[in-house]
Amino acid sequence: MLSILLKAKLPLCILFSISAIAQNPEINYSQAEFDSDTCCWRKLADSGKYEEGANLILEYLKEGKPENKHSLKWHAGQLFANAEKNTKAIKYFRKTSNIFYRWFGGEDGRAWYFYVNGTKAFLRRDKKQLQKIIKHWSNKLPEDMNYKQLVLLLENWDETYLEALK
């Protein structure tokens, strides 16, 4: 489309205006608006359009005004996992944690580290790793909602990510 417009020799101000109109209006929202329960990617997810929702998050990360990129990357990963795009899901989950969370993050950081890595183990179909993470967590950390989600993934091993967490 852009090449056609350039060949038409339209003034640059018109090209920029057309580009801004083509963009999703949600990209200009604050993150609070973009991340609300009744808007944007959550609305797409609620209607089963997981991959579209994940791609909207990625567009917002690139073009919008994100305040908490960590959270949005996690949600993009979840939506890709729901769409059974596990390689993409793992890519974005990987961007939400690292070994420093385990070493220096205190109890919350360690729990998050294990949650992320347990989720990735489920998507990679590494049952032994998921079992190891759950066992380590139950011995060293309080069992919270994320721990229970990992247990649910293990209990529903033969299901997809989306089905396992229902």
- Gap between the Cα atoms of 56 and 52, Å rounded: 6
> In this structure, what are the phi and psi dihedrals at residue 21, rounded to the nearest 5 degrees?
-70, -40
pLDDT at position 11 is: 52
Q: Which amino acid is at 94?
A: R
* Residue located via tokens 């038409």: 8
Q: What is the DSSP string of 97-139?
A: --HHHHHHSHHHHHHHHHHHHHHHHHHHT-HHHHHHHHHHHHH
pLDDT in tens, 113-144: 999 999 999 999 999 999 999 999 999 999 99
Q: Which amino acid is at 122?
A: F
CB 79 within 8 A of CB 55: no
pLDDT at position 51 is: 98
pLDDT at position 62 is: 97
Sorted by sequence, the CB contacts under 8 Å of residue 102 that are 6+ apart come out as 109, 110, 113, 114
pLDDT in tens, 57-84: 999 999 999 999 999 999 999 999 999 9
Q: Check whether 19 has a pLDDT greater than 80.
A: no
Q: Check whether 2 has a pLDDT greater than 50.
A: no
- Gap between the Cα atoms of 33 and 65, Å rounded: 11
The residue-averaged pLDDT of 88-106 equals 95
pLDDT at position 9 is: 53
Q: How far does CA 138 lie from the centroid of its chain?
A: 25
Assigned token pair, 135: 């066992």
Q: Check whether 17 has a pLDDT greater than 90.
A: no
Q: Check whether 21 has a pLDDT greater than 60.
A: no
pLDDT at position 58 is: 98
Q: Check whether 166 has a pLDDT greater than 70.
A: yes
Give the 3-state secondary structure of residue 11: coil
Q: Which residues of 10-46 are buried (b: 16+ CB within 10 A; e: fewer)?
A: eeeeeeeeeeeeeeeebbebebeebbeeeebbbebbe
